[in-house]
Structure 1
Amino acid sequence: MTAHTLEKILAEALAEVGVGAAPIRLPSGRPRETKWLHDERGFGIRIYATGRKVYVVQARMAGRLRTVTIGHAAVLTRHQAAMVARRVRAHAEVGFDPAADRQRVRSAPRFDDFLSEYWRRWSARWKPATRITHDKYRRLYLDDAFPGLFIDALNEADVTRWFAALNNRIGPGGANRVMSILSNMLNKAEDWGYRLENTNPCRVVRLNRKRKCERFLSLAELEKLGTALEAARTEADPVGVAAAAAITLLLLTGCRVGEIANLQWRDIQGNRIKLRDSKTGPRTVWLGREARELVASLPKLKNIPWLFWNARYRRPLRTIDYYWREIRAQAGLDDVRLHDLRHTFASHAAMSKETLPMIGRLLGHTHPQSTARYAHLGEDHVLGAAEQIGAAIERMLS
């Protein structure tokens, strides 16, 4: 890129923030120039001899006229900077000194040091499975994310570049998960006094679009899966038999894989399962007749508290992915995940005209929007019923 082209691009960027096509470099001997804008009183853009441009705001604080730097013009839009300027002046009018607060924030640690502090102070609140997952994400994607950068200097441009590179290394769902960890970190940096309030740059980065269409099994597919599960439960391999029973119970209850894999006999209380812990905390899972019969058919092993036991390695049956891949291949359902069995349970409940609150209660959802994805399934059947009623009335009128 030639110097002339670069100068033209920068001039256009200046014009976009309302400065006009001013020359990039100032006359000799002038280190900077400030152009005052009309969006807010005391609001302007400062242009340095190097071409760097920052938004600033002037306000009287403690009897002195102070100039506070808002942020780099390449990161903030003019509207965003004007909103910050308005807040700075409002705080100054009630005696708050942003310059003094910014001086306090400059004592913030580097990103890697704060990452260690955040993990030490906050990770105790995570569930063990969450801690394992977050530790992996930290090791792979956060430990070396922003080398040498101080936590209070992390801005939108830094996070945007990092997230773009992250998407080339990990799937969209995983990238969103790592971004949520970083976002919570920066929120805590504000709470703990290392960053100014409401400066979390993760808020403006657009996350990857989540998959909206959830896979669930049709009646014909359920028949194929049922045949494959029944065959697996008659095999000689006791571990495979336990895995097939666990998969069947997943389908009959709509539980998550971890909730079933960790079941102990003390959790079974009559026609219900009392989960001591789950993604949303302790909850009750109700067992239908088929589920109760399956649980009753499981062998109770001496001194073994778990329902599903890996006899080969003398430990709980934590992982059933290997057996699931074999069973779904036999059923011709290679695109179905274990978690899709949970969607199948909920989808068929919706198609059986169960209400969304009831489905949410069965699944242990804490937020209605988690259950709302199944609303269209119920609506289809309501529409079908309405059409049948309309046809019947039309026949009576003819």
Structure 2
Amino acid sequence: MTSHDLKSILAEEMARVIPGEDGKRRSKFDYLLPGFGERIHPSGRKSYVLQRTMGGKQRLITIGDAAILSERIAKDVARRLILRIELGQNPADTKQRGKRTPTYAAFLQSYWELVEPTWKPSTREIHGIYRRTHLDHAFAGKFLDEISHADAVRWHAGLTRSAGPGAANRAMEILKAMFGKAEAWGYLPEHSNPFRDVKRNRGRKIERFLSGEEMARLGRELLSHRDEKPLEVAAISLLALTGCRRGEILNLTWGQVQGRKLKLSDSKTGPRIVWLGFEARAVLDFLPRGRKDERVFAFDVQPASALDWFWRKLRSEADLRDVRLHDLRHNYASLAARSSETLPMIGSLLGHSDIRSTARYLHLCDQELLRQATVVGQKLESVIEGE
């Protein structure tokens, strides 16, 4: 008999199915990690368990739902529990703790199921991407109360290096809110949120405004592509003429286009009205109108990808290589500021919910006031000298 045959026989023997006390639940145990197994419930649901003989009694500790935890993570948790038992920790306390404090993965799933329905559709979409990309396996195998401030700092620093400062900040805010709920719901003691004092990466305050000559170049390039790329040209034109965010334009439906206004139901700050100038309305009139529930910009591929690709090509042709698509929003605000619009009015045009978000354009308002004051001063001086 070869070692391979012996291993197969041992596997079949150790990975046996044992009926539960009620004759319905079954447990299948692993031969490589003694005591670790999978419990199969009558409903078909599966959970990972750890069975140990402690204090003369056989105990079964539930690790977590197999639909949430991978086998690798569940085994990591089992090894941690075995180590605690071998170090002499009270088995009853360990079992109670396992019931009282969920694993990170289990709580993330529960939190998502409870909170996700309260988010806006755009928030659900973005948070879902962050969860799949950065959160699901962030603290594999750890119980919620095992995650320390140092763990949070190291995770944030690592994510900053791999995904960038902005993505790390956004992902951290999601977890900060989640651990806040863990406190509020009694899973963690008050003031124990490990993300509370983690410093955010400093954002780059890039304010790139276009000169008149640059805007003219951009306009000429847009016009040259209108027949070839009508949707891309129309979308970018609307961004420049309304100051809207990219998502607000790409998710726009024809039912939200109402005369000289856009009635947005899902913007970053909630529902809002965007008023259209004659030029912006003319851009929409150039497109064939669809049904109310149809998107204005129905691209054949992912809308964001189509627009980003065209923008990179367009800004290269217009010699605007350092201009981001979002800078068109800043440029719209700067034009409003230099036209002597008040900060509250600029905030209303941009859909800001907090005047502090609009305050970045204060210096442009000041420049215009200074220019007007200079003009008034020169007129007064000419009057005085003429007397």
Q: How does the TM-score come out when normalised to structure 2? A: 0.69
Which AA in structure 1 matches 2:213?
A
Map 1:24-63 to 2 at 5 A: none
- CA distance in structure 1 between the aligned counterparts of 2:204 and 2:377, rounded to whole angstroms: 36
Alpha-carbon shift at residue 125 of structure 1 (Å): 2.0
The 3 A distance-change label for structure 1 pair 182 and 305 is closer
CA distance in 2, matches of 1:301, 1:136: 30
Q: Deviations over 1:64-112 (max 9, x none)?
A: xxxxxxxxxxxxxxxxxxxxxxxxxxxxxxxxxxxxxxx9899211212
- Give, as a single letter, the amino acid of the residue that structure 2 aligns with 1:249: L
Paired residues for 1:1-398 under 5 Å: 107-233=100-226, 235=227, 237=228, 240-300=229-289, 305-310=294-299, 313=300, 317=303, 319-397=306-384
**CA-CA distance at 1:197 after TM superposition:** 1.3
Distance in 2 between the 1:394 and 1:245 partners? 48
Q: Structure 1: how far apart are the matches of 2:180 and 2:256? A: 37
Q: Which secondary structure state, in structure 2, belongs to the residue aligned with residue 202 of structure 1?
A: coil
The SS at the match of 2:100 is: coil
| Kept after mapping to 1: 8 A contact 2:333/2:350 | yes
Aligned letter for 1:129?
A: S
Q: Secondary structure at the match of 1:200?
A: coil
SS for the counterpart of 2:199 is coil
AA aligned to 2:112 is: W
Is the Cα–Cα contact under 8 Å of residues 122 and 266 in structure 2 kept in the other structure? Answer: no
Write the letter of the residue equivalent to 2:327.
D
Q: CA 1:303–1:271 in structure 2 vs 1: closer, same or farther (change >3 Å)?
A: closer
* Partner amino acid, structure 2, of 1:276: S
TM-score w.r.t. structure 1 length? 0.67
Deviations 1:303-337 (A, max 9, x none): 98333333xx3x89554112212211111111212
How has the CA–CA distance of structure 1 residues 303 and 121 changed in structure 2, closer, same or farther, with 3 Å as cutoff? closer
Separation in structure 2 between the aligned mates of residue 303 and residue 333 of structure 1, nearest angstrom:
36
Partners of 1:384 and 1:308 in 2: how far apart?
41
- CA distance in structure 2 between the aligned counterparts of 1:129 and 1:389, rounded to whole angstroms: 48
1:178-219 CA deviation, whole Å, 9 max, x = no partner? 110110011010011111112212121111111223222221
Counterpart CA distance in 2 for 1:165 and 1:282 is 36
CA contact (8 A) 1:308 1:316 kept: no
* DSSP-derived class of the 2:144 partner: coil
User: Which whole-Å CA distance do the structure 1 matches of 2:238 and 2:208 have between them?
Assistant: 18
C-alpha distance 384-303 of structure 1, shift in aligned 2 (>3 A): closer
Structure 2 residue ranges without an equivalent (≥5): 1-95
Q: Which moved more, 1:386-395 or 1:277-286?
A: 386-395
Deviations 1:117-160 (A, max 9, x none): 11221122223332232223223322222233221232221211
Task: Tell me the residue number matched to 2:12.
Answer: none
**How far apart, CA to CA, are the structure 1 residues paired with 2:165 and 2:292?**
44
Aligned length: 289
Between the aligned partners of 1:350 and 1:231, the Cα distance in structure 2 is 30
Closer, same or farther: CA 195–304 of 1 in aligned 2, 3 Å: closer
SS at match of 1:285: strand
**2-side partners of 1:293 and 1:365: how far apart?**
26
Contact 1:105 1:196 in 2 (8 A): no
Change (3 A) 1:389 1:106: farther
- Distance between the aligned counterparts of 1:160 and 1:308, measured in 2? 41
Q: Retained in 2: the 8 A contact 1:123–1:131?
A: yes
Secondary structure, counterpart of 1:184 in structure 2: helix
> One-letter code of the match for 2:150?
A
Alpha-carbon distance between aligned partners in 1 of 2:296 and 2:102, rounded to the nearest angstrom: 48
